[in-house]
Structure 1
Amino acid sequence: MTVLVEMSEEQVGALSAVTGMLVDVDRTINQLLAVKEGLLAVGSRLSFDIGADAAAAADPGLPDSFAGDAMDLAARAVAAEFAVALQSSDRSLQHRMTDADAKVTQFPSVWRAQGVGAITAGQARSIVDAGAHLDDESERDAYADEMIGLVQAPGMSPSRVGRAARRAAERRRPRSLDVRHRDARRVRRIWVKDRADGMAEFGLLGPAALIHGASERITAMGLGILSDTTARVEAGDDRFLDEIRADLALDLLLTGAPAGHDPDGLLAGVTGAVSVTIPVTALLDIDGPCAELDGSAPIDAVTARRLAAEAPGWDRVLTHPITGAVLAVDRYRPSAELKRWLRARDQRCRFPGCGYLARDCDIDHTTDAATGGPTEEQNLGALCRRHHVLKHQTPWAVEQVDSGTFSWTSPTGKVYLDTPPPPIVGTQATDDQPPPF
């Protein structure tokens, strides 16, 4: 038999040693992840106790929903404490706290198995995800024990564990698949994730039959385009199948009429809209800072100029020629002007680590207007609804220490500063301008 790659005894020995070290390091990482999940679960229990105490101490005349609100606010406050300390998103931390608590309390044997290095974090996640709907504790424990024994076999990657776990859980579920699917449909959604180089991902969660059907249809359309070689050569079309499918999907989403949901034809007139910040250098095709989509992701100059040419109107933001600080917005309508100014300055929610765009946020008085806080830029800032509520309803506190710098104090007394993100403008010093210091 022909051997394509020859390895010496020394190379085989080195490979074996590195593999062994990788296994040991990976086992240690998985054990530490189990410890981290245990701490997050403790945080979840702590937030539950804080919320329960607040609900118990509340006025009996408050509506029944107050207890739930108290629980949610306590979870937000604790998650925010963790997230800012870890330089993470408090939304994702709160989800991870909930997931960790479910794993530790509902699947303790899986958590312990990961903690001693018997299974990996990925295998544990597959087991927990597949068995999440097992409500009977004895069935859940039996399922977990079965899966822990199964994953000891060689080659049981998380994807293989997931398939086996779904089959094992299915045997133990009291509700039929039809009933569970009906409930699962209620969480269908779409999402967008920004990527590098002016790109973004578009995700869609929905019924499997419809998703696969849509994928097959787009693929069939793409193959039809690929098969017409003559037309592609004449048009100079050198796209691969994946490129064609992506273009078809976006074309259908942006221009197709939703006939099945629009009997009166009202939705057909709804068009997509985006906001972009475009430096004048990009409009003039001069090298300089790039354009940016909604303060979240850079876009290429060609796309920026096309959007500028088709835009019905513009807000021109005037900036300092050296520091790039926002000075004014040139449309004069008092309340709207101030909002535009703040959104140009803040670009996003001003809670540390939050990436919600300013246009989707509330304009909040840092010092409440009810206590004399002025309605001016030094006392205003963009806060998403989550962190707006966090500021008013939990021990988190904030003040503006200078122009646009927010100082947040957590319930444990730690202080975190959040400064405005730099605007995407070009700056240049001239002989008659002082240096920026």
Structure 2
Amino acid sequence: MTALLDATDAQMATLADLVDALQVAEATLSSMSAARDGLLAIAGRLAVDIAKQGDHPDRGDHSLRTVAAEIGAVQRVSDRTIERRMAAAELLVDQFPAVWAAQGAGRISPAHSRVIVDAGSGIESPSDREKYSAVILPIAEAESPNRLRALARRVAERFASTTVSERHRRARSQRRVWVTDGDDGMAALHTHAPAALVHGMFDRLSQMAHALRNENLRARRQAARDGSEFEPDDRTVDEIRADLLADLVLSGQPTGHESENGLLGAIDARIEITVPVTTLMHDDADEASDADAALPAELDGRTPIDVDTARKMAGQTKGWDRVLTHPITGRVLAVDRYRPSRHLRRHLRARDQRCRFPTCGIVARKCDLDHNHAASTGGATCETNLASFCRRHHVLKHHSPWHVEQKPGGVVEWTSPTGRTYVDTPPAPNTVTFTVTEDAVPAPF
């Protein structure tokens, strides 16, 4: 441990006071932002009411522009920006009043509100939006916006009027590729396509890029030992990814990068999908009639994907992990595979899903597995002593006064340098749970 090692008691007390003050300041800013949203929503309603009085055929469009121009002029902001803010404010205030109230009370930030509204914007019924808000708000108060996004999408699916598969079938007709020009002779290539394909493409590019970097490092070390000349490849992984994409699109093969043994061409894309077994068991008719029976699959525990894609991939893959969950709580109990290998790593990936530092959303497969109690001092290599930490927070654990303790059920408790405690609970897996009723309890013998 090196960070803050030389801090005095007075400096640590100052740090504690700063953290408290910043917490209050953040809550105040959230409240003021909610107040601004309320005023913008009132301004939007006022413009519409004025338009209705004159029965304008543009349905208030010009009135909205006029009011937005007035507000924009005094704030020195574009009237188009004000119109967008007014629309977003009306959506929050009118359709998600509980979320707006929570932000006004400083319990959540504007970023949390945006995530909740974005995920729930497809919920049509006011009563369902109210139920959605009631479920997601306690989660929002305990999670960062980046973590909340995946959870909000999952919760919103419970109340959506259509299934993700139905929406995906419509959305696929909007897939496209386009270019935007940048500065200094650069441009950006964008694609809007099914998430499983996009993530798969990015993963394959990443594997290729890292393989090239590793091969370059090996060649550099070998040249240093032999004393031979060597021209290093100093490109970053991002640069190599971009160059590989150009190679693959323009020539169909990584022509300018392929190694002598053809390793790059042999690299396959990898994605991780979790899908409840009940979803695999039901057909489209069941899905349409019983949404609870066919929960959507999830890509990397973050993005819902359509059931058709999940079923096809489950049927075509050579092997898949079975995640056993508790039927009532949904907690991960075990992970097995028809051809077992690296059992514990798979179990922990399924349990943790992302880095276990509060607010961090790095997916578990990109994280290190860390012993809570070091193996060098007798710590066991087991589920109750291991957790997934991204490299940044792995280093933080070992080189700062932050202290980590794992509690039962995979709960990880972090204690900060100022003595505050932050609890991170494993996210609920994408699984089906059941409610036990009195009638379902077997009678004693």
Q: Highest relative contact order (Cα 8 Å, sep 6+), 1 or 2?
A: 2
TM-score by length of 2: 0.47
TM-score by length of 1: 0.48
**Higher Cα radius of gyration:** 1
